[in-house]
Structure 1
Amino acid sequence: MRQRCLLSVITTRRRVASVLAGVVALASGVSACSSGSSAGGANGRTLTISVSGDPLNLDTANCVPLVFCSVAYDSLIHISPSTGELQPGLATSWAWVDKEHRTFRLTLRQGAKFGDGTPLDGQAAAASLNSYLQAPGPFASLSYPLEKAEAAGSDKVDVQFAEPVSTHYALYLLAGQSGVGYVVGPKSAADRKLLLADTDGIGPYELDPTRTIKSVEYVYVPNRQYHNQDAIKYEKIVLKPVMNPQTRLNSIRSGEVDWALNIAPTDVSAVKQSGASIARGPLGSFASMALIKRANGPLADERVRQALAYATPRHDIATAIFGTDAVPTSSVVADGAEGYNAGDVNQYAYNPEKARQLLAEAGQANGLKIQVLDPSFFDPGSAVGQALKAAYAKVGVTLDLVPSDASPGVVAQQMGNYDAVIMTNGANGLSEVVFTMFRPKGLANPLGVPLDLQLTTLMHEAATAADPQQQEAKMRAVTARLDELVYTVPIASIPTLQAVSSKVANVSEKFWTIEMNPFSPVAAEAWRPAK
């Protein structure tokens, strides 16, 4: 089972970092007692990373890009980076307490301790989860429908959901991809300000504040309390926020760093020529045009929404803008994610004639005008917006593009003022799409338009199915209905490209997490210096 990526305000946590970095300064940010730089990638026992963003702070509820926290926190559930399988992490087993799939009981790993020596138990796990749900910042709400947690004995915790969810999604939510699955210590759960400039988790490494310089480099050292010392392969981890993609490219080519995040498709050959390799994350991001004003007006008509889907030349747009690695699709669920329905990939193959027919049936034969917010953060240079504008003009639809250089947070506040929004968000699985994007007041539904009744019925049936194979089949049926509704016009799934030095061993060619995770709790998966 493969799925990834919780959204940020309206994008992946990874991409939010590139906007927040350098814009939001921490009054109580990471301090430094040293101004010198650390050893670079040339030191085989140091893993040096060029990261495409600087974290707002180190609170697990705001930690973007995720690597700033994944290095120091194991999650309750572990996602195998190479297969996407959901496996034991700090929780070693799990089961539903009720048939409605609303109370999920986790049994916790024995012998796991926080950095200060405090043991992990049911109360500590519950305190961490509840604290996260109340944390300030934009990400806590993305854990819906996770509602609260309670200790169920010394080694167990009950996680409660506001509505039924599939076993897969319950596990995925607790796997750290949104931060909620990272368990923080009891002191930090009680006072999250302690996390602004330090780490407090159960992971292979921990921050060294004395050698960390905010916005310059973050230094992590081995956590001697960690229960699996065999998974610690490096003496030091150095994370360097580098916003400029050309600088990241140069740093991996020169050997200054061992791993450079988010390489442009046009730079792949340059990376390979330098002797470094490229790893691909198939569930990288997803380009679409979210249809916001669906309560009334033209976009309330399913035929109009489907007409826009048919009028979208997604193959041409994907190749021209996102490169040959991009996967054009008519479905909101990408290949490899929960609920993927292969039959929907070409459901809206480019067909302007069909688009004009549907528009006529909907009473829009004389054309219509749609006002579209086109944020530069998601659509640099308005490339997607301009391509859609040209394509839709051929079927009588006028796109009134409104460019915006606003941050994601401001864009989120503005979305409800427009008919549609150009977006590039995470390539999500079905549950994630419904719960974070399209539910009333979700990220792509700021006006609170109710979900389709048939869709919600199918979701409930799928979530509560006892047999895993039956559940997956029902999930595909939900995806089919969601694709019929066209709440957003899908364009393409775009893989994430990462560059890794030849000095690093045990790197998978593909990864199924938000970012590659070199710091796996499974020793056989953890990156290590090449011999």
Structure 2
Amino acid sequence: MRRRNVLLRLALVASVGLAASACGDSGGGDGAGGAGANGRITVGGYNYKTLDPGGTGYISKSVPISLDVYGSLFDPPTAKGGDFVPDLATGYKYSDDLKTLTIELRQGVTFSDGTPFDAEAVVYNFERYKQAESPNAQYFRQMSSVTASGEHQVTMTFTEPTATMVAFLTYTPATLIGSPTAHKKAGQQQFGLKPVGAGPFEIVSHKPGEELVLKPFEKYWDRANVHLAEVKFINTSPEAQVSYQHVASGSIDSVQVSGVSTPPNVLDDAKANQKIATIAGENTLYAFLPINTFKPPFNRPEARQAINYCTDRDSIATNVQRGWVTPAYVLAGADSLYYPDGGVDGAKAQFPYPFDPVKGKALVDQLGGLEFDLLNIGGHSQVISNALAQQWQQCGIKAQVKAVQGPQLSEAYSDGTYQMAYAFSGGIDDPQFYTSFQSPNTPQGKHGFAREHPEVPELIQSANRTVDPEVRRTTWRKVWTSMNDLAVDIPIISGPNYTFQNKCLADVDFAAVGAQFKSARLTC
């Protein structure tokens, strides 16, 4: 059975020895719960208005749900650093100069409207995604042309060497191929409400932002491995405590929360609850401090260095998050590709500004004081931001912690009106997907590295122009070393996503920002 595990090494945090007895308590009925549910499950956290990645308003966090409808051209590697796994595409080949990519498609596949999934369909979607109004356009910037070089073969050409396209066709909305016939017939707006793909499920009904109901697509090419009769996604509170209570009460079967932004008491309660499973993915999420280097006080490197010296990451991980996360010393989770040798301890040993309040205070005195605003999006981010501000006080640093809405923070990044923020990123083990804060061409990056520090984005571009894993490994370590030396985006903690789940639910495939239910089944 093919597995789509972006989070590859799953750990069952709850006591697996009690799984058999817990299944008998899972309840049942028309919605969530075990054997009485007749293969029907309910999943929390749905709040998406459109499922069309080629239209405005599409949110990348809906990719795992979209994959259940569209399918995927490629699946992630089954082992860290391995090759991409065939799905709707069966193979690929880059030219020697990395300016051409040829993709072979699976034959005999149809969309759920009965029309053929072929090269012409893929070309139609790629050309549509390249248009400026599509959020997918960012993945096709270097594509100069795309053609159907055969009935089941697609050829892409690029304006410059590009070694990242197959990764985009695995992890991002670029992999989602919809029926051209259905799109033309419905129009963009209506297609987003009920898209037609070639994935394991098709849509029964969709109330945007409220509820999405899926049933198996009977002519799906791998139908024998689709076991659930229905998957219903519903809108539930984003608060981790509420999400946990929903699963604990049996009103939903599955929901995912972020380890770096979830209160530790919620994770403690979930772990202790023997009636549900708490599943941890790979440590690929990270929290960090983006810094505006174009304005005081952080236009001076001494100010940034002082923050590092005065930050006790071990205390945040151990005392604030109770061990559910690890300290971060590079802008990646501890299970990410190219991470420094020796894991967290190895990264810590190479970190240029170890926790040293004496050195930090000396820099603050040299600066004549250090005072600034620290922005965050509220919730548990506010708790961690306050803990950091308290640590910095011992060095004479005065940080005013301010909670703002997400759109306000995005605007502050773009306008350069922020001084420092508490943010988090990651979720996939390949760091190439999380470089917006290091690029001068993005709203998040133009007031960070940008003009003053071109070496970092240049190194990242260099890493993305090779398929040699050892070269990429070496280059990414240079990226992290340079970023740490500059102290522009300061790492704090890292951790996994956690899924709260009905213990009767098995074989869920965990993706970067959610779960897929292509091969899932109820065991009791």
- Normalised to the residue count of structure 1, the TM-score between the two structures is 0.79
| Whole-angstrom distance in 1 between the partners of 2:517 and 2:77 | 11
What is the CA-CA distance between 1:270 and the residue it aligns to? 4.3
- Indicate the residue corresponding to 2:347 in structure 1: 344
What is the CA-CA distance between 1:55 and the residue it aligns to? 0.9
- Indicate the residue corresponding to 2:332 in structure 1: 333
Q: Is the Cα–Cα contact under 8 Å of residues 48 and 240 in structure 1 kept in the other structure? A: no
- Indicate the residue corresponding to 2:131 in structure 1: 134
Which amino acid in the other structure matches residue 481 of structure 1? S
Q: Is the Cα–Cα contact under 8 Å of residues 255 and 501 in structure 1 kept in the other structure? A: yes
Q: Is the Cα–Cα contact under 8 Å of residues 284 and 336 in structure 2 kept in the other structure? A: no
- Indicate the residue corresponding to 2:196 in structure 1: 200
| Whole-angstrom distance in 2 between the partners of 1:307 and 1:453 | 23
| Whole-angstrom distance in 2 between the partners of 1:102 and 1:485 | 33
Which amino acid in the other structure matches residue 384 of structure 2? V
Asked if 1:422 corresponds to 2:384, the answer is no
Asked if 1:387 corresponds to 2:387, the answer is yes
- Inter-CA distance 451–52: structure 2 relative to 1 (3 Å threshold): farther
Deviations, residues 330-361 of structure 1 (Å, cap 9, x unaligned): 1102222233224434514312223345557x
- Inter-CA distance 505–115: structure 2 relative to 1 (3 Å threshold): same
> Structure 2 matches for 1:326-475, cutoff 5 A?
326-342=325-341, 343-346=346-349, 347=351, 348-357=353-362, 364-376=366-378, 379-380=380-381, 382-404=382-404, 406=405, 408-415=406-413, 416-427=416-427, 429-434=430-435, 436-447=436-447, 449-450=450-451, 452-465=453-466, 467-475=468-476
Deviations, residues 304-327 of structure 1 (Å, cap 9, x unaligned): 323322221122223344341111
Which amino acid in the other structure matches residue 261 of structure 1? Q
Q: Is the Cα–Cα contact under 8 Å of residues 286 and 424 in structure 2 kept in the other structure? A: yes
Q: Is the Cα–Cα contact under 8 Å of residues 290 and 420 in structure 1 kept in the other structure? A: yes
- Inter-CA distance 458–203: structure 2 relative to 1 (3 Å threshold): same
- Inter-CA distance 111–476: structure 2 relative to 1 (3 Å threshold): farther
SS at match of 1:300: coil
Which amino acid in the other structure matches residue 396 of structure 1? G
| Whole-angstrom distance in 1 between the partners of 2:269 and 2:303 | 44
| Structure 2 counterpart of 1:170, from 156, 165, 190 | 165
Q: Is the Cα–Cα contact under 8 Å of residues 128 and 186 in structure 1 kept in the other structure? A: yes
- Inter-CA distance 117–385: structure 2 relative to 1 (3 Å threshold): same
SS at match of 2:422: strand
Which amino acid in the other structure matches residue 503 of structure 2? S
- Indicate the residue corresponding to 2:226 in structure 1: 232
SS at match of 2:373: strand
Asked if 1:280 corresponds to 2:297, the answer is no
Matched positions, count: 475
- Inter-CA distance 400–328: structure 2 relative to 1 (3 Å threshold): same
| Whole-angstrom distance in 2 between the partners of 1:466 and 1:305 | 35
| Whole-angstrom distance in 2 between the partners of 1:303 and 1:170 | 39
What is the CA-CA distance between 1:162 and the residue it aligns to? 6.4
| Whole-angstrom distance in 1 between the partners of 2:402 and 2:242 | 31
- Indicate the residue corresponding to 1:59 in structure 2: 52
What is the CA-CA distance between 1:153 and the residue it aligns to? 0.9
SS at match of 1:282: coil
What is the CA-CA distance between 1:459 and the residue it aligns to? 3.2
Q: Is the Cα–Cα contact under 8 Å of residues 40 and 48 in structure 1 kept in the other structure? A: yes
- Indicate the residue corresponding to 1:530 in structure 2: 523
Asked if 1:50 corresponds to 2:43, the answer is yes
Q: Is the Cα–Cα contact under 8 Å of residues 313 and 327 in structure 2 kept in the other structure? A: yes
What is the CA-CA distance between 1:214 and the residue it aligns to? 4.4
- Indicate the residue corresponding to 1:12 in structure 2: none
Q: Give the stretch that moved more between structures: 302-311 or 219-228.
A: 302-311
> Structure 2 matches for 1:286-297, cutoff 5 A?
286-292=286-292, 294-295=293-294, 297=296
What is the CA-CA distance between 1:289 and the residue it aligns to? 1.4
Asked if 1:484 corresponds to 2:485, the answer is yes
| Whole-angstrom distance in 1 between the partners of 2:99 and 2:411 | 31
| Whole-angstrom distance in 2 between the partners of 1:215 and 1:466 | 40
Which amino acid in the other structure matches residue 197 of structure 1? L
Mark the runs of 5 or more structure 2 residues left unpaired by the alignment: 8-28
- Indicate the residue corresponding to 1:39 in structure 2: 31
Which amino acid in the other structure matches residue 409 of structure 2? V
What is the CA-CA distance between 1:185 and the residue it aligns to? 1.7
- Inter-CA distance 391–472: structure 2 relative to 1 (3 Å threshold): same
| Structure 1 counterpart of 2:70, from 66, 69, 73 | 73
Q: Give the stretch that moved more between structures: 77-86 or 283-292.
A: 77-86
| Whole-angstrom distance in 2 between the partners of 1:447 and 1:218 | 39
Q: Is the Cα–Cα contact under 8 Å of residues 372 and 420 in structure 1 kept in the other structure? A: yes
Mark the runs of 5 or more structure 1 residues left unpaired by the alignment: 6-36, 520-525
- The alignment-based identity, stated in percent, is 20
| Whole-angstrom distance in 1 between the partners of 2:140 and 2:388 | 32
| Structure 2 counterpart of 1:105, from 84, 102, 105 | 102
- Indicate the residue corresponding to 1:523 in structure 2: none
| Whole-angstrom distance in 1 between the partners of 2:284 and 2:192 | 28
Asked if 1:87 corresponds to 2:85, the answer is yes
Aligned alpha-carbon RMSD (Å): 3.3
What is the CA-CA distance between 1:220 and the residue it aligns to? 0.4
Q: Is the Cα–Cα contact under 8 Å of residues 282 and 512 in structure 1 kept in the other structure? A: no
| Whole-angstrom distance in 1 between the partners of 2:419 and 2:291 | 6
What is the CA-CA distance between 1:268 and the residue it aligns to? 4.1
- Normalised to the residue count of structure 2, the TM-score between the two structures is 0.80
Which amino acid in the other structure matches residue 225 of structure 2? A
> Structure 2 matches for 1:290-309, cutoff 5 A?
290-292=290-292, 294-295=293-294, 297-309=296-308
